[in-house]
Structure 1
Amino acid sequence: MSADYVIPAQARIGHVHLKVSDLERSLAFYRDLLGFEVTTLYGSQAAFISAGGYHHHIGLNTWHSKGAPPAPVYGVGLYHTAVVYPTRKDLAVIFERLQKAKYPLTGASDHGVSEALYLNDPDGNGVELYWDRPKELWPSKADGSLNMYTKALDLDDLLKTLDQQEY
């Protein structure tokens, strides 16, 4: 293996596939609350969901996990799935939707490069909902590397975005 290989800049994460214990409960979260669209169902065992008509961004299945308890917090596995929203206003819209549904957040952070909401799906899988600031606004160190941080996200200020005309 060559240590100097660099993945092509156009490469991207295509989808995530989650083992869930109850497909309908997961669809109620991902489809009904977060707004993903079902692209196909495999009976009562699996569903593929997407945003914008892509074949699937998230796969949900009960093939090896029907009725299973959540994975332990202190073990290896997926930390969270991240969903990037195109604008700050889109993030405000989903935040307001979560508030109205009384769905609990596990965190809300400003990372300098992005603003993020954190929550768990019904199986305890972490979910990050975020938007990226324009790249020219990303904080950097003197050497040009990113200066990411974690500060509390001002949720009241995020909600003020809903009143803005630009979308």
Structure 2
Amino acid sequence: MTSGARALGPGPALRPVTSSPAEGTRLVSNEIESPPSSAIDPAAVVGHVHLKVADLKRSIRFYSDALGFEVTQRMGDDAAFLGAGGYHHHVGLNTWESSGGNPPPAGSTGLYHVAFRYPNRAALATAFRRLLESSIPLEGAADHGVSEALYLRDPDRNGVELYYDRPWQDWPRDSAGGLQMFTRALDLEDLLRA
């Protein structure tokens, strides 16, 4: 491999090339040239979140009992993967560097929340009933115009949002067609009737 070249899996070695400061650096090989891209592919999705937790058993109970995820793989007493609908995992949990640890103090950087989207309002209502049955307190509940959302904390104080999106045709818009999200109190009794 030439100096500065690197392999990115099977295929040709790629080397960084800078044409000009405005153009930035791109990766090239003898076979392909990869121009810089300004946007992520619109089909890309967040596949999973992997969280450092203090107590693996406690976190598994929360994500499986209170939220309904299934344990898909366990790695001894140190890590577990949980998913839904046959997916390998939506949530990874580990104690590799955090066993017995404390949540980050308020005012520090880190995860604000992870959001789990439900397919419809009835599914969100079922999730809310599960939270009530598990005595998991809500920190908030909001109608954002584009979605309805429930906010809570996991045992390690990570923020968790459970929500469903309204059909995009029903999203609130201004006179120019721009998105007009808002935050209003969510009627939880009405949600339970869904």
Amino acid at match of 1:16: V
**In the alignment, which of 100, 125, 132 is matched to residue 133 of structure 2?**
100
Instruction: Please tell me whether Structure 1 or Structure 2 has the larger radius of gyration of its CA atoms.
Output: 2
- Check the 8 A contact 2:146/2:181 in 1, yes or no: yes
Identity of matched residues, %: 58
Does 2:101 align with 1:74?
no
Q: Alignment RMSD, CA only?
A: 1.3
Structure 2 Cα separation of the partners of residues 143 and 78 of structure 1? 34
- SS class of match (2:193): helix
Structure 2 Cα separation of the partners of residues 7 and 140 of structure 1? 25
**In the alignment, which of 140, 151, 162 is matched to residue 129 of structure 1?**
162
Structure scoring higher RCO (CA < 8 A, sep ≥ 6) equals 1
Structure with higher helix content: 1
Task: With the length of structure 2 as denominator, give the TM-score of the two structures.
Answer: 0.80
Unpaired runs of 5+ in structure 2?
A: 1-23, 25-34
Task: With the length of structure 1 as denominator, give the TM-score of the two structures.
Answer: 0.93
Structure 2 Cα separation of the partners of residues 129 and 38 of structure 1? 19
Amino acid at match of 1:69: N
Once superposed, which parts of structure 1, at least 4 consecutive aligned residues long, lie more than 2 Å away? 1-4
1:94 to partner: Cα distance: 1.1
Write out per-residue CA displacement over residues 134-162 of structure 1, whole angstroms, 9 at most, x where no aligned residue: 0100001122221001000000110111x
Structure 2 Cα separation of the partners of residues 70 and 29 of structure 1? 16
Does 2:61 align with 1:28?
yes
